[in-house]
Chains A and B, each alone.
Chain A
């Protein structure tokens, strides 16, 4: 009886997650300060940078990731594509880091313009903005995101 119950529960769990699987289109571009020598980055590295698991660029400079605010569609796409998780799961990850005293999340900016300004002002910064937002007049550059390492 217990085994049947457990098997049923596991089946529901698997089907529940299978039913919810979905993919999202990118809708964002990744940008860094124009002085940054990096021109491409892998999805895995990008995820680790935004979770602060990688903290320095190859040249030793401190990496300063910057996020868009949580309701931004570009943030949702970035989270789905790069972290393979919903924004809410990433927020939960950071709340856990904060309240176990382990770390704090990247700063959140309210608009793509603020992200561009932040990256222009900080040489080690990296962020993302909606694909259709122009970077003209800002000292930043777009870098290519590779699917694999």
Chain B
């Protein structure tokens, strides 16, 4: 087919989609989106892709189309563009990615199903991990959510949501999910030949996943408790290849407290991961407290700790316990409106996720990073 015909066909398809969207806008189509743009700079070592010389190549942008076909049926699709400076995981990210796409069927007001590529309903932040206007800091806590690579964002499969109202004034919501997902693992080594850094970035496949997230809204307005977890079989990446841990069964559980009061909020999560056959545990804890100084200014404090028990030191196959990640953050947010927020934050970090060749037999490295960002949504 020659280029002229191809171009005409493409234009025709775009015109058809555009006119269909305009037509649908009158009949149940909603378009929403958000953007977070940051300037980030680190002092000490590069972390989360933030270089010491600073970078504005740090943003997330998403657009969502929601079509309520009927009272029972909804289609939702969201595309995103994400940049994380020099982070190794950027090697596996396209400029524009499909975040999620699903069909939801409401049997009634209490029960619904979703099919497709769906956000994993895990913890306080997983479903809103990039929605800057809803987050106290630019990023969700590294523990247990990772930097967009470890705790998966989406499951290819099915979720079932059941709301239970019989214990009024307690409100209970249970979501069950099943399917599979991927995550990205990376490591940086020193090339013995020329002393340059070699980055290895690989996808790990998580199959036969089964999970649940329970939320209990208490009679105290704004306070809810969560309990969630999943299990599945993981293979690939860097850790779960035959030469290292091999295929594994992985469990993760997470307990959450989420309190939103009039002039403050408090969120805390305690999680545990178990890698079954190799008997490796990790315990993760994060806690955030925010004080609204005025209607517009909010002061936020956050602490995170991630400890690993039984980590394997290669090539000796020796076991060790690691204070893997510690981060304390202080941030100040200015809210022009609920849909436009400016944030300034500083993090004091001591961890093994510095983007340098790391020796886990030595103490973790310390670094600091500052992020200045704005977030907007519509």
Given contact pairs A13-B289, A84-B221, A88-B338, A100 touches B264 in the complex (Cβ within 8 A): no
**Contact residues in B for A96 (Cβ distance below 8 Å):** 128, 131, 134
User: Is A95's CB within 8 Å of the partner chain B?
Assistant: yes
Contact A13 B261 (CB under 8 A): yes
**Size of the chain A interface, CB-CB below 8 angstroms:** 26
Q: Are A99 and B32 in contact (CB under 8 A)?
A: yes
Q: Tell me the A84-98 residues at the B interface (CB within 8 Å).
A: 84-89, 91-92, 95-96, 98
Residues on A with beta carbons closer than 8 Å to the beta carbon of B295: 86, 88
Bound CA–CA A101/B291 (angstroms)? 28
**Contact indicator A95/B100 (Cβ below 8 Å):** no
| Cβ-based interface call for B339 (8 A) | yes
A92 touches B338 (CB 8 A): yes
Residues of A within 8 A of B335 (CB): 88
Instruction: Evaluate contact between A17 and B264: CB separation under 8 angstroms.
Output: yes
0/1 string, B59-82, CB within 8 A of A gives 1: 000101010000100001010000
A95 near B263: Cβ-Cβ < 8 Å: no
Complex Cα distance, B131 from A55, in Å, reads 27
Place the interface of chain B in its size category: 35 or more
Complex interface: chain A residues within 8 A of B222 (CB): 85
CB neighbors of B among A72-127 (8 A): 84-89, 91-92, 95-96, 98-101, 104
Is A137 located at the chain interface by the 8 A CB criterion? Answer: no
Whole-angstrom CA separation of A98 from B78 in the bound complex: 11
Residue of A nearest to B76 (CB): A101
A11 within 8 A of B: no
**B289, A100: Cβ atoms closer than 8 Å:** no
Residue B337, interface by CB 8 Å: yes
CA distance A6 to B202 in the complex (A): 41
B109 lies within 8 A of chain A by Cβ: yes
A20 within 8 A of B: yes
- Roughly how many angstroms separate A70 CA and B295 CA in the complex, as a whole number? 14
Chain B residue contacts of A89, Cβ below 8 A? 260
For residue B377, CB closer than 8 A to chain A, the reply is yes
Give CA–CA (A9, B287) in the complex, Å. 12
Q: Which of A13, A16, A55, A101 contacts B104 (CB 8 A)?
A: A101
Q: B62 contacts which chain A residues (CB < 8 A)? A: 99
The residue that A99 contacts in the complex, of B64, B262, B292, with Cβ under 8 A, is B64
Q: A9 vs B266: C-alpha distance in the bound complex, in angstroms?
A: 11
- Taking the complex as formed, is A62 at the interface, i.e. its CB lies under 8 A from any CB of chain B? yes
A21 at the interface (CB under 8 A from B): yes
Within the assembled complex, what's the spacing in Å between the Cα atoms of A84 and B261?
A: 11
- Contact between chains at A99 and B34 (CB < 8 Å): yes
Q: Is the interface of B mostly helix, strand, loop or mixed?
A: strand
- Interface check A19, CB cutoff 8 A: yes
Kindly identify which residue among B102, B109, B134 contacts A92, using a CB–CB cutoff of 8 Å. Answer: B134
Q: Mark B200-237, 1 if CB is under 8 A from A, else 0.
A: 00000000000000000000011000000000000000
- A131→B78 CA distance, assembly (Å): 41
Is there an interface contact between B131 and A95, defined as CB atoms closer than 8 Å?
Answer: yes
Which chain B residue has the least Cβ–Cβ distance from A90?
Answer: B338
How near does chain B come to A140, taking the closest CB pair, in angstroms?
A: 24
Q: Which residues of the partner chain A approach B292 to less than 8 Å between Cβ atoms?
A: 20
Q: Min CB distance, A114 to chain B, in Å?
A: 17
B117 CB → nearest A CB, Å = 11
* B113 CB to nearest A CB, Å: 13
Find out whether the CB atom of B119 lies under 8 angstroms from the CB atom of A100.
Answer: yes
**Which of B30, B102, B338 lies in contact with A95, CB distance below 8 A?**
B338
B119 pairs with A101, CB closer than 8 A: yes
Residue from B128, B221, B263, B289 with most neighbouring chain A CB atoms (10 Å): B263
**Contact across chains for B127 and A100 when beta carbons are under 8 A apart:** yes
Using a CB-CB cutoff of 8 Å, which residues 89-116 of chain B contact chain A? 100, 102, 104, 109, 114
A86 / chain B contacts, CB cutoff of 8 Å: 262, 295
A88 vs B263: C-alpha distance when bound (angstroms): 12
Contact B339 A95, beta carbon cutoff 8 Å: yes
Is B264 a contact of A70 with CB atoms below 8 Å? no
A36-73, CB < 8 A from B: 55, 62, 70
Inter-chain pairs besides A12-B291, A95-B339, A104-B66, 20 sampled, C-beta below 8 Å: A9-B289, A13-B266, A13-B289, A16-B263, A16-B264, A17-B263, A19-B263, A20-B292, A70-B337, A86-B262, A89-B260, A91-B338, A95-B131, A96-B131, A99-B127, A99-B128, A100-B128, A101-B64, A101-B66, A101-B102
A sample of 18 inter-chain contacts (CB < 8 A) reads A9-B289, A13-B266, A13-B291, A16-B291, A17-B264, A55-B109, A86-B295, A88-B295, A88-B337, A89-B260, A95-B133, A98-B32, A99-B62, A99-B128, A99-B377, A101-B100, A101-B118, A104-B32
A residues sitting closer than 8 Å to B (CB atoms) are: 9, 12-13, 16-17, 19-21, 55, 62, 70, 84-89, 91-92, 95-96, 98-101, 104
